[in-house]
Structure 1
């Protein structure tokens, strides 16, 4: 009973042993050179974080990374054999792109690998997570782009099977160090979560990003209209794609259905003390934040420069006409992912507005985080 309703399908081809060895040698040699001051590290202005690519990085159906690589001209390759995917950069603009791989384990490892890499000066870099997600039909619709204000971890918890819980409990999923659902809510500190259950992003920066991009035109199509029309009890689900803000639930189990959607809303409300409203669900963001927190402690990055943009590829629960299992089966067969292409485009079209603004105003953005005044 965990979270993450992302419609993602990674299909990287496995590299040969020779390719891995060559990449490792190149990485080790280049890392040695940078560490010994033989070459100056690249000053990074923006790190674009994608989580998956469907096939190749170019020339086929795009996943989360391909549009960024092509349109931001990320043509310089930095081998990263100790990560999921090589880093690609535009050395003129200072923008780099990374693919973490799906799930919290891969994301945490990939961000840490990049953060410790001496080939890059990340001390002033902005970080943009740009990926697809599921969306709560009570709050928004497929094809929309949602800037994140709070990230709540959906994995760190106690779990008792629903068939064994006390009859008065609404769920068998409850916080660590408690004895029943939503106990000790008054003691939750949304700004200080030692175990990483909740992260508050830089809200002025998130609001700046939203304000800058809120009028971005987003894609829509007939298949999306057909899907959203099924959600007869959810006015926001039947709206056209738009840009908004909301909280994100992060965990590595792809969940689906009305009852778990209710749990997601309650879980986010608990961990944010009702300051955050659950809107999107994905996998990796709590891991990304944890790694950036450690890297920030070491003075290698500024975690206050992180922005998360999640775009809705599917709904987190079924419409009134279907059961949860039926709807999930339809999604897996393709019908439910009518917004996949639109969501991938939205991640670039909205996210690139922020990336371009930072690059074009680097003299100011390097020293002063937008929205801080």
Structure 2
């Protein structure tokens, strides 16, 4: 038995040794831009689009998926160094995927920019359905103390920051990078829908009645899907308490992702981009519960149009980075 198995083992060893040079020569993908979306509805392409599909169709339709242990979905990369993945919804799922991807030796993130993107909600006093906002600040909505109305004097805040979370509850994104992104994308033509136009008429706010536009402001990250005028005011209160810009977007991942990226590579190359597919409260004639659970035909409309707007705005920046990488590699180009 031993004499028969030795030639087989020797052949297997020689085959393994022959592949070692090729393995040793495999270089990690040098990532110029990483696009992180949070969910896809079905397939990556060809059906109803979720947050990732327009990005996939534009950048990775021919890409081979790269499986990453610990990540929710594979990573896709093109020859220009643009990579992306669906990270998962919420702080835990998205940040777990991001950490797994960042630590995977298949990728070189030493000079990467990060575009964290997806749909979101907006207060009707600050935005409207279809609008797209770059994040100037990322604020964690959940890290603090809360109590019920009636347990403090009437009119007093119902939230207080918890000590010890100062470094992870608030991130100011690089102002020069955010300003450059706004400059590159501010003139992008946005699409709208008839359903969204009709839905806006339910709100009296000037911002809610306006056509979609590109803006900048604070993105409020909460696993708590807060809703209604009271909690919207609380979110604005938290933004002001932390001396951040006006709260314009409610989402579920960005502050957590910034913490993960920051631990390994810093936060100066992060962009957060969100499009509003809903208001964070009902109209004056609608209860919060009715707005959270709308009857058939009572939804805001404009979901797909907002996805298109997010992609168009974000791609204006991604494409500039790729085309002018010699200017972007060392940092935000000077005007």
TM-score, structure 1 as length reference: 0.80
Q: Which residue of 2 aligns with 1:151?
A: 138
2:330 aligned with 1:359: no
Q: Return the alpha-carbon distance in structure 1 between the equivalents of residues 293 and 175 of structure 2.
A: 37
Unaligned runs of 5+ in 2: 1-19
Conservation of the 8 A alpha-carbon contact between 1:312 and 1:339? no
Conservation of the 8 A alpha-carbon contact between 1:313 and 1:342? no
2:272 aligned with 1:308: yes
Q: Which residue of 1 aligns with 2:114?
A: 127
Shift of 1:169: 4.9
Q: Which residue of 1 aligns with 2:281?
A: 317
Q: Return the alpha-carbon distance in structure 1 between the equivalents of residues 293 and 333 of structure 2.
A: 43
2:162 aligned with 1:176: yes
What pairs up with 1:1-373 in 2 under 5 angstroms?
A: 37-74=24-61, 75-90=63-78, 92-163=79-150, 165-177=151-163, 194-232=166-204, 234-271=205-242, 273=243, 275-296=244-265, 302-330=266-294, 333=296, 335-371=298-334
Shift of 1:321: 1.4
Q: Aligned in 2, Cα 1:149/1:173: closer, same or farther, shift over 3 Å?
A: same
Q: Return the alpha-carbon distance in structure 1 between the equivalents of residues 208 and 24 of structure 2.
A: 54
Number of corresponding residues: 314
SS at match of 2:136: strand
Shift of 1:107: 1.3
SS at match of 1:281: strand
Q: Return the alpha-carbon distance in structure 1 between the equivalents of residues 264 and 298 of structure 2.
A: 41
SS at match of 1:304: coil
Quote the RMSD (CA, aligned, Å): 1.9
Shift of 1:121: 0.6
Shift of 1:160: 2.0
Shift of 1:82: 1.4
Q: Return the alpha-carbon distance in structure 2 between the equivalents of residues 363 and 37 of structure 1.
A: 28
Shift of 1:145: 0.7
Unaligned runs of 5+ in 1: 1-32, 179-192, 297-301
Shift of 1:279: 0.4
Q: Return the alpha-carbon distance in structure 1 between the equivalents of residues 176 and 320 of structure 2.
A: 16
Q: Return the alpha-carbon distance in structure 2 between the equivalents of residues 218 and 336 of structure 1.
A: 20
Q: Return the alpha-carbon distance in structure 2 between the equivalents of residues 348 and 80 of structure 1.
A: 25
Larger Rg: 2
Conservation of the 8 A alpha-carbon contact between 1:314 and 1:339? no
Q: Which residue of 2 aligns with 1:23?
A: none
SS at match of 1:336: coil
